[in-house]
Structure 1
Amino acid sequence: MSLQALFPAVDSSLPIAGGTLSAVADFEILARALDAAGLSATVGGLSDFTLFAPTDAAFADLAVTLGFTGDTDDPDAVFGAIAGALSGLAPDGDPIPLLTDILLYHVSGAESDAAGLNADGPVDTLLTDASVEVTGNTVVDGDPNFQNADIVSPDVDAGTGTIQVIDQVLLPLDTPAESDPGTLLDVLKESGGSFDDDNTDFDMLLAALQATGLDDAADDPEAELTVFAPNDAAFISLAQSLGYEGDDEEGAFQAIVDAAGVLRPEDPLSFVSDVLTYHISPGEQDSGAVLGSESIDTLLGEGLGVDGTMLVDADPDAENAEIIGTDIAASNGVAHVIDEVLLPLDLPMVDQTPEEASEDSSEDPEEPEGDDDSFGWVEGLGIAGLFLALFFLA
């Protein structure tokens, strides 16, 4: 049975960002799950309802989280993996009660569009004493660890109700359907592990960890760490402050490595390693602990200041990093996403705009006196000169 068979009013294709979904082909697992739980007639007979409908890809993500390593494009294999996992979690080995609870958690007895869901606060579901909350396009479920769902095709008219298409399966708090999320390295590897056009993930952080050998520390199952994880946009911003004029991940990564080579030509990766360990704090600290602190210790030995949602690093002129994502759970710690790379040393000229640098120059046009004059040649070399000066002065 397909979603279109359950709801004949649904169009054959549903628009989403970057393409469309097929009401026939992209909801096979949802229809199969409703059949297995004996809920097809129940849901199909509702009126004035709201259904949060996970796509087949959403069920595949759940299966992978539960340990599935097979073909995620095979609905039979995905559904079998989920049923098998639920069987293992059920006290009597019967997956149907848990599956039923999960499905009931996707249905509200009140019809509402996306705007109404945002305005109404907690949305009661057909699962007793269980609700979801919609914030923007995100549906916050009862599981604090599993990734929240996004509404990817809102307000689909199903004739007697409304469907909100979502990209993750919703999990109620009392459903033990979460698995080991993997290590911090595993979490970063979900980015895909290669440079791409998505600046919101962690390809560059993963590449830096692997280049320096710190990936083993992030993969240590015995560790308890807090990682402040700059996304790819943060690394590109750093590269641009170092003089890089592009906006692609591969070029930005090379620009940062090249700058490290100027700073420490005998061992460029040691500088990168210092920067990375400045992003790691010993112990597992959730967002409440971090935001409630005045300072955070790091593995580098240099501390970070905390000012609201901002992390204050050792560079007084650079933009402070803001915590833009919190509490990404891992088996060996937790990660919080930040929008700037933290710098463990003061590089004031790196952080000036061309206008600021020009103003400084015009304020004091005379050549420096004394010993400082020996470094006057640095000005003509821009960023590279600054790094060389810092290196020789160290």
Structure 2
Amino acid sequence: MHLTRMVRGLAVGTAVTTVALAAAPAAASANTGAKPLGTRSLAAVLTRDTGGFDRNGADYDILTKAVLTVLQAKPQSPVKVLTDGTVALTAFLPNDRAFERLAQDVGGGRTLPTEQQAFTAVAGLGIDTVEQVLLYHVVPGATIDARAARKADGAALTTALGPAITVDVRYGWCIQLVDADRSDRDPVVVRTDINRGNRQIAHGVDRVLRPVDLP
């Protein structure tokens, strides 16, 4: 993986992202439930786990640390939408193993790094790049639960970064997401309906979505 190319490829104006988020309808929803949706934010869900880095590749310690690091450096970052539960959105959350795989690709190592090592590698991309990678995992304006996603094969979802990702439903139940990188395996949803019943919903994925095509 060419790290420099990834950073250059993510030189997208923050103003464009801000406009995209502002234009998103606040209450649009594809949620199939009949009850009014709650306003618990995804940030509140992520920060409930206070254990920090561990050996559990299925949780979201690295993602949580990345979100908090961006918001600490840039309090007005569009990433802060994850803290506002009144704003409807769908997020695809890379688990710790996903970030470890990304760090392994970046470093060219033969073994997976620890969570701390993976976070250090990701943070080394720079705050702006981390911010934009995070925004590529957020679809503002709609609460899309797993049931709706499985009926959306071929749909293009416009992300908070600007470029779209495509839903690829296989076998009627497996949800895969097609990103901009054509030379690497596309992420698969491995956990669904995180924060179900609220305007902000998420699905866990096993790879980090890549907003640029890397060799």
Same fold (TM over 0.5): yes
Deviations 1:83-129 (A, max 9, x none): xxxxxxxxxxxxxxxxxxxxxxxxxxxxxxxxxxxxxxxxxxxxxxx
Find the aligned partners of 2:181 and 2:92 in 1 and give their Cα distance.
Answer: 17
Q: Equivalent residues in 2 for 1:134-173 (5 A)? A: none
Find the aligned partners of 1:280 and 1:303 in 2 and give their Cα distance.
Answer: 10
The match for 1:318 among 181, 184, 190 is 184
Q: Equivalent residues in 2 for 1:53-202 (5 A)? A: 182-192=40-50, 194-202=52-60
| Residue in structure 2 matched with residue 250 of structure 1 by the alignment | 116
Deviations 1:48-83 (A, max 9, x none): xxxxxxxxxxxxxxxxxxxxxxxxxxxxxxxxxxxx
Under a length normalisation based on structure 1, what TM-score does the superposition of the two structures give?
A: 0.39
Equivalent pair of 1:184/1:332 in contact (CA under 8 Å): no
- Answering whether residue 146 of structure 2 is matched by residue 287 of structure 1, we say yes
Find the aligned partners of 1:210 and 1:193 in 2 and give their Cα distance.
Answer: 15
Computing the radius of gyration over CA atoms, which structure comes out larger, 1 or 2? 1
Find the aligned partners of 1:243 and 1:236 in 2 and give their Cα distance.
Answer: 10
| Residue in structure 2 matched with residue 342 of structure 1 by the alignment | 209
Which amino acid counterpart does residue 105 of structure 2 have in structure 1?
A: S
| Residue in structure 1 matched with residue 4 of structure 2 by the alignment | none
Identity %: 35
Equivalent pair of 2:190/2:205 in contact (CA under 8 Å): yes
1:291 CA displacement: 2.6
Find the aligned partners of 1:232 and 1:302 in 2 and give their Cα distance.
Answer: 24
1:292 CA displacement: 2.3
Q: Equivalent residues in 2 for 1:255-294 (5 A)? A: 255-258=121-124, 260=125, 268-282=126-140, 283-293=142-152, 294=154
**What SS does the aligned partner of 1:242 have?**
helix
Find the aligned partners of 2:129 and 2:117 in 1 and give their Cα distance.
Answer: 19
Deviations 1:6-33 (A, max 9, x none): xxxxxxxxxxxxxxxxxxxxxxxxxxxx
Higher RCO (Cα < 8 Å, 6 or more apart): 2
Give the gaps of 5 or more residues in structure 2.
1-32, 72-76, 170-174
Equivalent pair of 1:181/1:187 in contact (CA under 8 Å): no
The match for 1:301 among 147, 162, 184 is 162
Find the aligned partners of 1:193 and 1:200 in 2 and give their Cα distance.
Answer: 14
Find the aligned partners of 2:63 and 2:199 in 1 and give their Cα distance.
Answer: 18
Change (3 A) 1:304 1:194: same
Find the aligned partners of 1:313 and 1:184 in 2 and give their Cα distance.
Answer: 22
| Residue in structure 2 matched with residue 158 of structure 1 by the alignment | none
Deviations 1:298-326 (A, max 9, x none): 11110001111110000001110001111
Equivalent pair of 2:47/2:64 in contact (CA under 8 Å): yes
Which amino acid counterpart does residue 226 of structure 1 have in structure 2?
A: T
Aligned residues: 163
Under a length normalisation based on structure 2, what TM-score does the superposition of the two structures give?
A: 0.70
Which amino acid counterpart does residue 286 of structure 1 have in structure 2?
A: D
Give the gaps of 5 or more residues in structure 1.
1-144, 146-179, 261-267, 349-394
Q: Which has the higher helix share?
A: 1
| Residue in structure 2 matched with residue 205 of structure 1 by the alignment | 63
